[in-house]
Structure 1
């Protein structure tokens, strides 16, 4: 046997094993043992989890290589590790802390369901259709780039003298908060009497 050719027994077998191999070996991301396959947050990235409708409005603030996943009606935007710790103070500084927002953040100690690697979605299906066709599954709307490129393109806090094209986490969070608030008000108006909305805070700038 040619020593330069890997033995078939050494290759990952099955879609779950191949997906785990891709995350751990190609991207260097930590996974959680067992099934379903999950990715640890707080090490290489944190995650902002918002309604897909709200997240779609913020996509223009992301660099082309920023990773974004869809799971059901939720959008999960990968941001720089440490962002989860910054979020409460950031929302307070942006004057969103008094508003109830459907904006979740996962950092150290958290995990997300691992989307299928690029190419695993059946041909001819868009990401949203693939999500609906497999209950609980997640898919990449914007898959991560290889290796360290994935983290380099994630939204992060601005820093003096920072070089590169990583988008500004402050602008992204402010935009997501505004869209989350608008989505919440639309849903309330669609399902509740108008009188129930009198005490709802308005925080548009």
Structure 2
């Protein structure tokens, strides 16, 4: 069924810019432009046109990526503090925004923390990288004005979502975990004092990745090995 598209309207009274008036364009393209303007104008984040719309890493932030089960455990462990957190469109990766330059520090940190050479599934995106821009759920709640209308049947399937969204009008950098000279000795290493130190975050993330891998292995063996009777 073809979604119903609202008629065109002039943007003169709300000041949100010409992209918001392009209701006559194909829905997916118009929706991407809506979010692109929200990220660029509302947050000051550079983007790359899609599909899907991308957020450029290594400029305002880097990204730590880890499997979703490990990411969920990590978020329970670290609590509500820290920078924005997203879930990939396929639901397979949790992405934590960290201070710019952190991606370059990850391999050395893992070696220093005795996690080097272990297949954890913990990776990073830095300069020259991009992540799919979350365009559903929590972002809509964070936007002060109405989000773009959705076609009948709901939001597009497979779109990335925010688990902990950024806040328009606020600088993201003070909330991002950053590498400090104090390392493990400082519990609050973020620039604003409310985010965990990058060393602690990476150590906790590696631990949860390792635990999740062991649990997945145990589940696989339990489900595939025949029962033994004595």
The answer for the alignment partner of 1:198 in structure 2 is none
Q: Given the alignment, which residue of 195, 199, 219 partners 1:170?
A: 199
Checking the alignment, whether the CA contact within 8 Å between 1:50 and 1:180 is kept in structure 2 is yes
Q: Mind listing any 5+ residue stretches in structure 1 that lack a counterpart? A: 122-129, 194-205
- Aligned pair in 2 of structure 1 residues 99, 65: CA closer, same or farther (>3 Å)? closer
Checking the alignment, whether the CA contact within 8 Å between 2:101 and 2:126 is kept in structure 1 is yes
- Aligned pair in 2 of structure 1 residues 184, 11: CA closer, same or farther (>3 Å)? same
The answer for the alignment partner of 1:119 in structure 2 is 140
CA distance in 1, matches of 2:196, 2:15: 42
Q: Given the alignment, which residue of 106, 119, 122 partners 1:100?
A: 119
- 1:141 paired with 2:163, answer yes
SS in 1 for 2:172: helix
CA distance in 2, matches of 1:92, 1:150: 28
Q: CA deviation at 1:33?
A: 2.6
Superposition pairs of residues 42-191 of structure 1, within 5 angstroms: 42-59=58-75, 60-61=77-78, 64=81, 66-71=83-88, 72-116=91-135, 118-119=139-140, 134-135=157-158, 137-147=159-169, 149-159=171-181, 164-165=192-193, 166-191=195-220
- Kindly indicate whether structure 1 or structure 2 has the higher relative contact order, using CA contacts under 8 Å at least 6 residues apart: 1
- Aligned pair in 2 of structure 1 residues 120, 37: CA closer, same or farther (>3 Å)? farther
SS in 1 for 2:140: coil
How many residues matched? 180
TM-score by length of 1: 0.77
Q: Given the alignment, which residue of 27, 38, 62 partners 1:22?
A: 38
RMSD over equivalenced CA pairs, Å: 2.8
CA distance in 1, matches of 2:16, 2:63: 36
CA distance in 2, matches of 1:29, 1:115: 13
Q: Which moved more, 1:70-79 or 1:7-16?
A: 7-16
Larger Rg: 2
Q: Mind listing any 5+ residue stretches in structure 2 that lack a counterpart? A: 1-11, 23-29, 143-153, 223-230
CA distance in 2, matches of 1:7, 1:175: 44
**Cα offsets for 1:98-117 (capped at 9, x unmatched):** 31111111001110000016
**Cα offsets for 1:59-79 (capped at 9, x unmatched):** 243663510001212111110
Q: Which moved more, 1:73-82 or 1:147-156?
A: 147-156
Q: CA deviation at 1:190?
A: 2.5
